[in-house]
Structures are given as structure tokens and as C-alpha cells.
Chains A and B, each alone.
Chain A
Amino acid sequence: MTKIKKTIQPASFKINAGGTATAYGGSALPDVVRQRRAKLEASVRPGDIPSSAEGDLAIKDVRGWMLREPISKRAYTVIKIQTASGLTGFGECAPLWPAEYAEAKTIILGKPVTSFDVTASLLAKCPTARAALNIAMLDVVGKLCKAPIFQVLGGPTRHRARVLAPIMGDTDTALISAMNRAKSAGYMAFKVPITPVVYRNQGQAYVQSIVKRIEALRAAGGQDVDFVLDGSNLLTPGDAQMISAAIEKYHLLWFDEPCLPAGLGAFKKISGGSVTCVGAGKKITEGSEVQDLFREDAVDIIRPDIGLNGISQIKKMSTIAEVNYATVGPNHNGGPIGTAASLHLAASIPNFFIQEISFPEAQEDQAMRLALTTVPVEVIKEGFAVLPVGPGLGINVNEQSLEKYKEVTL
């Protein structure tokens, strides 16, 4: 990685690392271009976002709760901010280390809530906390403007948001019953795990086990449901390619992260080898990674995680997908506050396709998700989520429940 890349784009180039960058992309920049950028870099200096608590909109207090669902053990963090004027906002992110939280808190205290976007570069070294802070700041801005976040951001671009439920189970039978439960809750699209991976390069029998799984789910679910096959980065590129070709005729929504996207070359090969759509990007936190995916023709859908990025970061990523005539299907493995943020994002960008929402099996987990907000957020009808309306996130967080379900107070 060159010096220039490091300074202009603070994030690491995770995806690019093993890739085959083209003539001008990534690490293959000609020296002359590098010199040019270095000259320019001297002129582009970050400005001073006011850090002293000037005005009512400055962030005066930050609090956090690390939560965990009792049965699924799914973990997520909720952050609350308060302005000098007393307005409060909530955000959610993936599990957050206390050290990262402390660092982010130091950076964000005193900043105006309206700097929800430009603070991204200051918070680049604590990207997970950045996600929750971005959502919380937008929540406050919405409340300040008395408008839902999607209206603040130029939406609604749609009046409902398509949703995807991940289903779990060791066998096809277990998956079918999980699908039926999610279906009766209103879901019409399901993310299905691949059959267990025992060897590397498993060949024909393994490919057939995947085909059989899809056929069984299709037979049980009918013609009006849709599937995403979740590779969970577990496959070799060879197996992934064979599977991708074998499942073409089932018209899955997409094949999700069949192998590690760090090997962009492998991804490009899978994507180029069949017409099955390919999705990737659950771990990305910078637009540069999205640019790399599209520069390499690697994907049909990008999957940035709401709990790792927040709203603004994904909105920026979506601009790169948009010009590639491609779509955004955010990943979400967190709680209902993150879901609400996702739905505002969905209604703010033009090229949203689908939002993944965790659908826990256990009653206890479902009860916790319901208890975190005063009105249910994850209301699903005919495969689409109802958009939250009302100022900010349009939800009221129940702080007593945060206390009840917390593992650690940050």
C-alpha cells in the first residue's frame, strides 16, 4: 500500500489486498499519477469541525449499552447522545469494544449533531462506533426538523422496503419449518445457509446437496417466495463456481459471499462464470472497497452492514453502485434500532433492493426485540417492512429495557 493511498483514504484496502487491480486501480497506479496525487494532497487538508461546544446542537453527552439476546446470543450496542439543548437520539452498531467507544466519545463530544456526515473522516479509526453515532446524530437532526430521517435525506424514494429473513437449521426439514415460521410473520424472501462444508473442493455430490436443498425449499415455499444462498465465505472458488452455475435455473435473488471477498480475482471469476447474481461486502466500511468490487465486475449487489456503517456511509457507497446499475441490500445482524435506521436508509437511496432483518426463533429473543422500543419496528407485510414515520428514527427507545438486557454499560 502506498503512502498516498494511506493518507487520502484512511481505511485499509481489505478487498484490494488479494485482488488483481486494473491499470489505474488500487496498487497499480503509475508512479506519475502517484506523484501527482502527492502534490495535491498537500492542498487538501481536513478543516476544523468546531470542537468546542458552541451552540445548542453540540453533543454534550454520550452513553452506551452492550446488549445480548438471551437465546440466540446475538449481540449489538446501543448508543444515546444528548445535545446541549437537551435533544436526544439513539443509534445502534455491532458489538463495540469499550476502548473504541471511549475514543469515539472523545472525538464526537462538542461536535454539532448536524455534522453527521463530515465527522465520518474523524471517526475513521473507530468505524463501528461511527455507525451508531451517525444514526444517533441523524435521529436528533430529524427530531430538530420534526421530520423522519428519510425526509431529511431527500426521501422517501419508496413507500415500503423489501425484507430478507435469514433462516437457520441443520437439515432441509428444519429449514423448511423455519421458513414457514418466517413466512407466517410476513417474510417472502429467505437467506438459506449452504449445506455443511466438510472438505475443500467437494465436487458433484456437494453441488447436488445444494441443488436438492433449494428444490426442497422451493417445493415447500411455493412459487412466490425468493431465496438467497448464503455461502458465508466458506467455499473454495472452485466449488463456488460450480454451485453458481448449477443454481442458475432456480433464479435465486443472489449467491451471498460464496468465498472471502478479499480474493477479488476469485470473486470476479465466480461472478463472470454464471448469470447467478453475486453479493458481497458484509464487512466493508469504506467506499473505496465498493469501488474495487465494481471495478472488478465482482458483484451484482453490495451488502454493507448497517451496524458497521450507519446510514450516511452506506448512502455514499450506494452512489457507486448506482452508476454501475447495481443495487444495495444492507446486511443487518443486530436489533430493532438498527432495523429502523436501515429502513430510513432504504427510503433515502434510489437503488435499494432488500434489507436483511434478524428473525429470531426463540420467544425470549423476540420479546427482547419488542421491548427495546415502545412501538414495534419490524412490522412485515407481504414481504415488505412498513417504514417508520415520525421525527428522527420515528421510534421511541425504551431505556428501562436497555438496562434490563445490557451486558455492559459503556
Chain B
Amino acid sequence: MKRRDFLYGIGATGALLAGNNFPESDSDCGCDASPLQQQQQVLSAPKTPWQRGQFDHVLSKVRITNLKVFGVSITPVSDRPYVFVKLETNAGVTGWGEATLEGKAGAAMACVNDMKDFVIGSDPMQVEHHWQSMYVHAFYRAGPVIGSAISGIDQALWDIRGKILGLPVYKLLGGPVDPRGVRGYYHARGGTREELIKLRETAERDGVTAFKTGLPAPAYEWIDTHAKIDRAIKQLQMIREALGPDIDIACDFHAKTSPSVASIIVKEIEPLNLLFVEELTPPENNKALARIAKRSTTPIATGERLVASYGFRELIEQGIVDILQPDASHCGGITALWKIGAMAAASGLSMAPHNCEGPIGGLAAINTDACMPNFLVQEVCSGVEPGLNEKVWEEWLGFPAQRMVNGRFPLSEKPGLGFDLSEDAFKKYPFGGTVPMGRVFASDGSVCEW
């Protein structure tokens, strides 16, 4: 059967959906464990709308037949083994997504598997419907574990949709804004002034227009000493001086700072006209962030730890920050990233999606970025010179997935997310197990943000 023959007409539902056994619950919460009660629940459980055949006339003939999860560690000690999701279909098309969750690989892999029943037997075309079901029927809505699992599945569904419909994902989303690609930034890892001047020369040669750096100390205390604060300010001044006025510089505070410390540093670096300052505080307290934002003229970015458009509502509605940084592998995939972008646009906020995991989530982000009129810049967690990760990615995908050309990530004309990948590629990089993220402590041994 040709790919296109799957698209419409009466879908072949029955057999495949047999495994899709959701109880459609009434008001009873199902906590009664008595055998009679359990038996009644099973017997009386009405079928899903799919099983009742109510969707038959509006579905395609494509069905998800299998879901596989891969834990992939490039090095045995990697704190973020990639969690890749592969969906197989009866149309011979497969889709890939990424559910990598830093420090919690095992939980993310288990959560993807927990969602098997939401996916197997379903029509990949109705990705919005499956997203809703995974999120709403999760009952707890979503934190980072469920968010990352949904992201992996969502990206894989979009990959399949693109391949079946014959268009790259960014075209299915109504883009691109700019066919030359998506503006990106590398991380500035050079330490000395001479190294940074060399970095500027490389950037000018390669057309790279922006870099991101961080604060010099591994940790900051609730209120910090003059010496540490001064060092942070001087380092940023030096970076600006070395990189010159024409390269945009962002600074990631990584939520290492309290609102008190962040406010002082942000005030002092205002004359540097940074592109943005990022994650000035941890993500739970928008009021604390607003306290800093009220006193800063430097644009403020945040959002890599927030999940779904719901997680961004307050930030957008109250106009606290200027730039949102959802991560396509945590926030709920392409579906959620696109919605966050649309909401942000309505309030005049810009988008600079976070990306510090593997290549699939990165390509999902790039595809979505290309359709956002309010897109600013895309992160890749890498320097001007490719590292080991990028070499492995190129080995897997056959092209340098997240290297910029003239300061932009190019867009592929290939359907879906734009790559072919064989699961055999991972054999050399077996899952090394969950490794926690870095832990930092203050000079008195107490716990600090990292």
C-alpha cells in the first residue's frame, strides 16, 4: 500500500485498538478493592470513543503499532543519557522523539512506557487529541517527568505526521518565517581575554551573532560577599569588551542566585546591554522574579523548567519577563512549544527555546522556532568548535544536526523532523544508568542551587 493510501477513508480500527483498554470512569474513583467492585468496574467499563467507532469517519488509516524507548549514554558518566522514543506504524513509517530528562533518565523512560496505552493503536494524525489525553488524563497534570515523556511521544507523532503528509514539520506548522533558518547561539566557554578575542574572530568568520555565558562561581549564597559579586561583574565586563559591541551576549544565572544577589549583579551589568539575563531565580516563585524584573532594564528570560502552556500562563499574563525559554523535550514537545509561542506573541514576548539534551529534541525545537514570528534565538549546548556529542550526533543522523551555517540552524526539506535514524546506531552507546545532576554546596557545606 502506498503511503498516501493510508490517509483517509474508513480507518481499520477494531483489531489494533483491542489493546487500548481505557476505562471511561464515572464518579467512582476506583479505590474500592473489593473483588465484586473491581469485577463490576471491568464489566461495566464503557469503551473509548475510538472503540465505539465514533472517530472512524474522521481518522486516517495510519495506526501506531509499537512504542520503544532507548536510554543512550554517550559516556558512561553522562548525567543526561538521551531518552529516545521510537514509534512504529502500520504504514511502514517510524517516528522519533526525545524525552531526555537531566538526572532522571530512569523515571523518564519508565514514564514513556507508562503511556504506551495512550499511543499504541492510535492514529498519529490526531496529535493534539493524544497530547490532551496524556496531559489531562494524567490527573496530576504534568511536572518534568510526565512533561518529558509527553514531549518524546509528541515529537515522534509529529515526525510521523510529517512523513505521512509529505512535509517538514515547520511547514505543517505554517512556516517558515525565514527560509534561511533559525538564529542560534553557542556557549562562550573561553576563559581568558585572549581566548575570547579569538572566539570573536571565529564568530565573525562563521557568521555567529550571539553567545551565552554564565556566572563565574559554582554557587552563590543567599546574600554574597563583595569579592564574589565583583568578580561576576568584572568577568561579564571583560567578556563584553573582548567580544566587542556587535556580538550579542546572554548570561545564564542558572538560578544560582537569590533575588537579592541577582538584583545587584543585574543592576551593575546594565551598561553592557546584554541580549538577556536568564533564570535569575528558581522557577517556583514568579513574584520573586518580578521583584528583580521591576528594577532591570536588561531583558529577562526564563522557562526551561516549566511544563506546558499552563506553566507559562502567569509569567505571560503578568508581563514579568521578556523572553520565554521552554524546552521542547520537557514542556510537552512541539505541540506545547508552539502554543507557548503563540501565547507569548499575544503579549509581545519573545521566544528563545532552551536545548541542552540530544539532537532530536533540538531538531524539534528548530522546526517549531521556524514558525514563530516572535522567535528570538535558539540555544544549542555547545561551543563554536564541535565537541564529542556533535560528532556522535552526526554519526547517528548523517548530518551535523545542530551546527549553524552563517549564524543560523538550517531547515531541512525532508519530511517530518528531517532525518533517518536506525536504532542500531545506539549499540555503541549503551544506557549507563541514571546519573544525578551536579551537586554544589556553600562554603559552610549547606546546599546551594546549581
Q: Which residues of A contact B (CB under 8 A)?
A: 4-5, 8-9, 22-25, 29-30, 32-33, 35-37, 39-40, 43-44, 46-50, 114-118, 120-121, 141, 144-148, 150-157, 159, 286-288, 290-291, 294-295, 312, 315-317, 319-320, 322-324, 347-350, 387, 389-391
Contact = CB atoms under 8 A, between A and B. Distances in A.
A324 to B, nearest CB: 7
Interface residues on chain B, size class: 35 or more
A291 B317 contact: yes
B125 interface: yes
A37 B174 contact: no
Interface in B153-191: 161, 165-167, 171-180
B126 A157 contact: yes
- Most chain A CB neighbours (cut-off 10 Å) among B131, B132, B342: B342
A39 B273 contact: yes
A155 B125 contact: yes
B151 to A, nearest CB: 15
Contact of A146 (B8, B178, B294, B316): B8
Contact of B167 (A24, A114, A157): A114
A117 B371 contact: yes
Contact of A36 (B8, B125, B178, B322): B322
Contacts of B322: 33, 36-37, 40
Contact of B376 (A35, A43, A312): A43
Interface stretch (B31-39, B112-120, B231-239, B344-352): B344-352
A319 B337 CA distance: 11
Contacts of A323: 309-310, 312-313, 343
B137 interface: no
A24 B298 CA distance: 17
Contacts of B309: 319, 322-323
B297 A146 contact: no
B317 A389 contact: no
Given A146-B4, A147-B165, A391-B8, A4 B178 contact: no
B376 to A, nearest CB: 6
B166 A144 contact: yes
Nearest to B276: A40
A155 B128 contact: yes
B7 interface: yes
Nearest to B55: A159
Interface of B: 4, 7-8, 49, 54-55, 57-60, 125-129, 131-132, 161, 165-167, 171-180, 248, 273, 275-276, 290, 293-300, 309-310, 312-313, 316-320, 322-323, 335, 339, 342-343, 345-348, 350, 371, 373-377
B343 A389 contact: no
B273 A50 contact: no
B54 A287 contact: no
B8 A389 contact: yes
B339 A37 contact: no
A156 to B, nearest CB: 5
Contact of A153 (B4, B49, B128, B275): B128
B165 to A, nearest CB: 4
Nearest to B275: A43
Contacts of A49: 176-179
